């Protein structure tokens, strides 16, 4: 069965960096685009970034463009989110998710990132 | 960016009720719309794609309709496990955007 397991969350000071990882299993990872979506405490869902199945294209939300970088390592079935220059407003649960032709079909359990001094 | 507006933001209903949630896009998105269900402390669950196609394993009491800018999610007979927050999301263009959510509560 499809499994997505995020790791790397934690408490970080404003302006610092953090890298999230998402280990995928149960499907042919190299055939799927992968997304990161976040949810601030008590708030709705906000899409963050996507990487194409072959890594050829990447797109970002305006709020993270220039600060966050999505990447993938198909040899490890893992997608990453490098987050630099973190701000308090980046505090959220970050979900790794598998792309579908019309949406996002499988989600990880999420990892909490707290940006606070 | 395409803005997605859901209404209502919350609805109180009883088991067995028919519930309809509306989602409006700020510009036409054809049928590039998905619906998700999220329960507290859990990841979202993919319910419907392409506006009206039911994801595998989703009960048939869930249905979606619409195209262009106006869409609906209908739960034909609300069950206890359906009390949750529902989100629409446009898949027409990046950045992907979600509606603000509709919380379905027990009356």
Task: Find the CB nearest A47 among B43, B46, B97.
Answer: B97
Average pLDDT over residues A94-115: 96
Average pLDDT over residues B24-43: 98
Please check the confidence at residue A101 and state whether its pLDDT lies above 90: no
d(CA B57, CA A105) in angstroms, rounded, equals 12
Angle at B73 between CA B72 and CA B74, to 5 degrees: 115
Q: Which residues of B touch A99 (CB under 8 A)?
A: none
Q: Which residues of B touch A102 (CB under 8 A)?
A: 31-34, 49-50, 53, 91
Closest-CA distance of chain B to residue A105, Å? 5
Q: Which residues of B touch A100 (CB under 8 A)?
A: 34, 46, 49
DSSP class of residue A90 equals G
Mean residue pLDDT of chain A comes to 97
Please check the confidence at residue B106 and state whether its pLDDT lies above 90: no
What's residue A96's pLDDT?
98
What's residue A60's pLDDT?
98
C-alpha distance from residue A63 to each of A48, A90, A96, B5 (Å): 8, 9, 18, 20
d(CA B96, CA A8) in angstroms, rounded, equals 24
Residue A116: pLDDT band by 50, 70, 90 thresholds?
very high
Task: Give A25-58 pLDDT, tens digit per residue.
Answer: 999 999 999 999 999 999 999 999 999 999 999 9
Task: Find the CB nearest B98 among A47, A59, A60.
Answer: A47
Question: Which among A39, A66, A38, A37 has a CA at the least distance from the CA of A50?
Answer: A37
Task: Find the CB nearest A47 among B31, B43, B96.
Answer: B96
Closest-CA distance of chain B to residue A96, Å? 10
Task: Give B45-103 pLDDT, tens digit per residue.
Answer: 999 999 999 999 999 999 999 999 999 999 999 999 999 999 999 999 999 999 999 99
Closest-CA distance of chain B to residue A102, Å? 6
Task: Find the CB nearest B95 among A47, A103, A109.
Answer: A47
What's residue A35's pLDDT?
98
C-alpha distance from residue A53 to each of A33, A46, A94 (Å): 4, 21, 20
Contact A104 B94 (CB under 8 A): no
Considering only the C-alpha atoms of chain A, give the largest distance between any 2 of them, rounded to a whole number of Å: 40
What's residue B1's pLDDT?
96
């Amino acid at each position: 069965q499809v499994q997505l397991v995020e790791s790397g969350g934690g408490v970080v000071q404003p302006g610092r960096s953090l890298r999230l990882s998402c280990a995928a299993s149960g499907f042919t990872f190299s055939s799927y685009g992968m997304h990161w979506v976040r949810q601030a405490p008590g708030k709705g869902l906000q899409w963050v970034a996507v990487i194409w199945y072959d890594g050829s294209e990447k797109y970002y939300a305006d709020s993270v463009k220039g600060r966050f970088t999505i990447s993938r390592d198909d040899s490890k079935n893992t997608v990453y989110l490098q987050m630099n220059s973190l701000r308090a407003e980046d505090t959220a649960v970050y979900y790794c998710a598998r792309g579908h032709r019309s949406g996002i079909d499988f989600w990880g359990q999420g990892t909490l990132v707290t940006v606070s001094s | 960016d395409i803005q997605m507006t859901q209404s209502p933001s919350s609805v109180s209903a009883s088991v067995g009720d028919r519930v309809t949630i509306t989602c409006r896009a700020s510009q036409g998105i054809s049928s590039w719309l998905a619906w998700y269900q999220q329960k507290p402390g859990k990841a979202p669950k993919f319910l419907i794609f392409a506006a009206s196609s039911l994801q595998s394993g989703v009960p048939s009491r869930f249905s979606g309709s619409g195209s262009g800018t106006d869409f609906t999610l209908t739960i034909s007979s609300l069950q206890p496990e359906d009390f949750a927050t529902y989100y629409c999301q446009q898949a027409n263009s990046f950045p992907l955007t979600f509606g603000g959510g509709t919380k379905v509560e027990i009356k």
